[in-house]
């Protein structure tokens, strides 16, 4: 899976360079992220700008990251386009995740206290 992690202050931007986040890469993503979280990364901004499509296993993997960050970590998502945004909406995941338009907004949101992951 093509993935890059950039530490920006206390936050980590997780850049996904896969057009399709599906069963093929979901497990690997889940494993990679679990390792990073165990290593101490607790405030994550997931960059989906390059993602055209996610299937349910892809979305499930993102949910698993959120769960792994509980109770004190935080995950925000930015750069959702077209079908990916619609999938978040129609499965009501837009109410669980904070969806933000770009990286700056995502980092700002991570810096704001009070609205962490649930």
Give the footprint of other proteins on this chain (CB under 8 A): 20, 22-24, 53, 55-57, 59-60, 63, 83, 86-87, 89-93, 95-96, 98, 115, 117-118
14/64 Cα distance (integer angstroms): 15
For other proteins, the closer of residues 6 and 95 by Cβ is 95
50 closest CA partner among 22, 81, 77, 25 = 81
> Alpha-carbon Rg of the chain, whole angstroms?
13
* Smallest distance, other proteins to C-beta of residue 75, A: 11
User: Least CB distance from residue 93 to other proteins, whole Å?
Assistant: 6
DSSP state for residue 102 in the 8-state scheme: S
């Amino acid at each position: 899976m093509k993935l890059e992690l950039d530490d920006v202050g206390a936050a980590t931007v997780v850049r996904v360079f896969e057009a399709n986040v599906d069963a093929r890469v979901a497990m690997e993503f889940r494993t990679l992220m679990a390792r990073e979280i165990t290593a101490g990364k607790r405030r994550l901004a997931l960059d989906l700008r390059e993602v055209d499509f996610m299937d349910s296993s892809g979305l499930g993997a993102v949910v698993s990251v959120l769960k792994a960050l509980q109770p004190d970590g935080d995950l925000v998502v930015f750069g959702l386009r077209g079908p990916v945004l619609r999938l978040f909406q129609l499965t009501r995941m837009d109410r669980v995740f904070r969806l933000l338009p770009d990286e700056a907004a995502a980092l700002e949101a991570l810096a704001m206290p009070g609205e962490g992951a649930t």
